[in-house]
Amino acid sequence: MGGIGQGERVGVYPGTFDPITRGHSDIIRRGAKLVDRLIIGVTTNPSKNPMFSPEERIAMVEREIASLRLANVTVTGFNALLMKFAERQGATVIVRGLRAVADFEYEYQMAGMNQQLNAGIETVFLMADVSLQPIASKLVKEIALFGGDISPFVSAPVRDEVIARVRKLGRLGDY
């Protein structure tokens, strides 16, 4: 994608991915087309009450990326300000997914703050596929905790990991 005299175009797609959903995978697949290299930054966010540890989420995302067969996508964890992480990765683009209008206000504010921190890194918004727009990791976990079927929202391996975790927590209804 980079032309003569241009460096590699690197993008970062940050998130907690707790768990990674079909919506995330859609944004990854499409975001990978926009850059030479896409780095999936799996971050810690204790306020989201994660079901999986950072290491478990990184492994989960790596497995999903492998199944997508995207050679230009890598996964790494981070626990820092997004713009500092992006700078360290040599990124010029932050990829963010939007599901609905409700996401836009928050993401717009974040993009503005990030631009103040580093105007050389652009934020690119990708709309989730219409069929995937309602999917949110928080809702996937809630459905699983109440024994609902999360198969439409996550891959089979992720579904199995979520179900196993919910059983371990002892909060699963009859599946």
Give yes or no for a contact between 121 and 91, defined as CB atoms under 8 angstroms apart. Answer: yes
For residue 137, indicate whether it is catalytic: yes
For residue 99, indicate whether it is catalytic: yes
In the DSSP assignment, the letter for residue 5 is: T
Exactly one of 33, 48, 84, 167 is catalytic; name it: 48
Exactly one of 9, 30, 63, 99 is catalytic; name it: 99
Cis peptide before 19 (omega within 30 of 0): yes
Beta bridge partners of 95: 124
Exactly one of 137, 141, 159, 165 is catalytic; name it: 137
Characterize the bridge pairing of strands 10-15 and 37-43: parallel
Q: How many residues in the chain?
A: 175
**Spatial strand order in the sheet of 73-78:** 73-78, 37-43, 10-15, 93-98, 122-127
Exactly one of 22, 24, 141, 159 is catalytic; name it: 24
- Strand, coil or helix: 148: coil
For residue 155, indicate whether it is catalytic: no
Q: Residue written as tokens 């105007």?
A: 119
- Strand, coil or helix: 7: coil
Just list the catalytic residues.
24, 48, 99, 137
